[in-house]
Amino acid sequence: MFYKVAEEMSIKEKLGILTDAAKYDVACTSSGVDRRGDGTGIGNTEKGGICHSFSADGRCISLLKILFTNECIYDCKYCINRKSNDVPRASFTPDEVCELTMGFYKRNYIEGLFLSSGILYNPDFTMELIYQTIYKLRTLETLEEIVKIVYKVLRKTEKYMAIRYDYIEEILPHDIFFITTGELEEMYPDKTPKEREYLISKDKGAVCVMQIGDLLKSGEKHDGRAPDYDDWALNADIIVYYPVLDIALELSSMGIRVDKDALLSQLEKAGCPERAGLPFQKAIINEELPYTIGGGIGQSRICMFFLRKAHIGEVQCSLWPENVMEETKKAGVPLL
């Protein structure tokens, strides 16, 4: 059930109130501290809004730090947001938090969201709103936004390469074309999945093929995908047409990672429900891990594409079979 909270204030006014209200939450490396950035510490901690934390791989990351609401029913004596304190009050709607988060993310201001909250009406009601927010952020729309950002980087890189090297012409279209595996099957019912990818990439130049892993209407899969990796309804491959070899070239495989429901259902469909007992899978099912999005970019493929090379061995060192070495030598393709 989706609830609605009052929206009489502008989103900017709410942002001012609820970033300020959140800065006393000292659960990260820079917040709630009255210190200007002086070049010796992490960031400027005087104002609310953006805080910093460390990712698992040690990177310092920026997070939008807000409260969902400071209209709290409780009166904890130490808290600035206690109900007896005379401070401006506001509450976001789930849509507003999504709009702000994606807006800042797209402009490269933040890499994530630090969302906490006072208690509006009662704890269950508040958690329901926060759950709605996280659920809304975990949608196809989010996936498409992220793909557009990744694609823009690819396009800009190609532009740089075309300026730097005379022999390279820009071939990527301005926009990437989005299509699901189901729509592709409807478009080319008599073709194999690989043939469909070739035809659509040749037609559009760059495509994002979404929803890979589940059975299509025909009862076949477009392609395999691990059941405990990304959500089969919220994943994608970025594929470009590569005229040097007249092929569809996959540059990235990505997706919104499984949540509890997606994981359990996908393990069942893949016929391996026992994997639910493994440590990582168990942590997802027990909701101990946060929702994430991620993927891989084929570094050698990217280099091959941008340098317009005919064989991946021209951009990465490998051992190749004798016949491949002979054929590439004959064709004048130098392998590393």
74 makes contact with ligand SF4 (CB under 6 A)? yes
**Nearest to ligand SF4 of 87, 283 (CB atom):** 87
Which are the contacts of 316, defined by CB distance < 8 A and separation ≥ 6?
300, 303, 336
72 makes contact with ligand SF4 (CB under 6 A)? yes
82 makes contact with ligand SF4 (CB under 6 A)? yes
148 makes contact with ligand SF4 (CB under 6 A)? no
Tally the C-alpha atoms within 13 A of residue 7's C-alpha that lie toward its C-beta.
8
Least distance from ligand SF4 to the Cβ atom of residue 121, Å:
12
Sheet holding 60-67, edge to edge: 50-54, 60-67, 112-116
Rounded Cα gap, residues 3 and 8, in angstroms: 16
Please give the size of the binding site for ligand SF4, defined by CB under 6 A.
8
27 makes contact with ligand SF4 (CB under 6 A)? no
Selected binder of ligand SF4 within 31, 45, 62, 81 (CB under 6 A)? 81
Least distance from ligand SF4 to the Cβ atom of residue 104, Å:
23
Least distance from ligand SF4 to the Cβ atom of residue 74, Å:
4
126 makes contact with ligand SF4 (CB under 6 A)? no
Calculate the CA 207 to chain-centre distance. 17
**10 Å Cβ neighbour count for 53?**
19
Choose the stretch contacting ligand SF4; rule: CB under 6 A; options: 1-9, 11-19, 68-76, 246-254. Answer: 68-76
CB 26 within 8 A of CB 52: no
66 makes contact with ligand SF4 (CB under 6 A)? no
Least distance from ligand SF4 to the Cβ atom of residue 273, Å:
39
140 makes contact with ligand SF4 (CB under 6 A)? no
Distances (CA, A) of 86 to 59, 81, 94, 287: 39, 9, 25, 36
Least distance from ligand SF4 to the Cβ atom of residue 120, Å:
10
**Nearest to ligand SF4 of 82, 260 (CB atom):** 82
Least distance from ligand SF4 to the Cβ atom of residue 69, Å:
9
Question: CA-based diameter of the chain, in Å?
Answer: 83
Least distance from ligand SF4 to the Cβ atom of residue 84, Å:
9
Rounded Cα gap, residues 250 and 255, in angstroms: 14
What tokens appear for 331 in the block? 């064709």
Rounded Cα gap, residues 57 and 227, in angstroms: 24
Selected binder of ligand SF4 within 118, 213, 227, 295 (CB under 6 A)? 118
Rounded Cα gap, residues 269 and 167, in angstroms: 48
Which residues in this chain contact ligand SF4 in the complex, by CB under 6 A?
72, 74, 76, 79, 81-82, 118-119
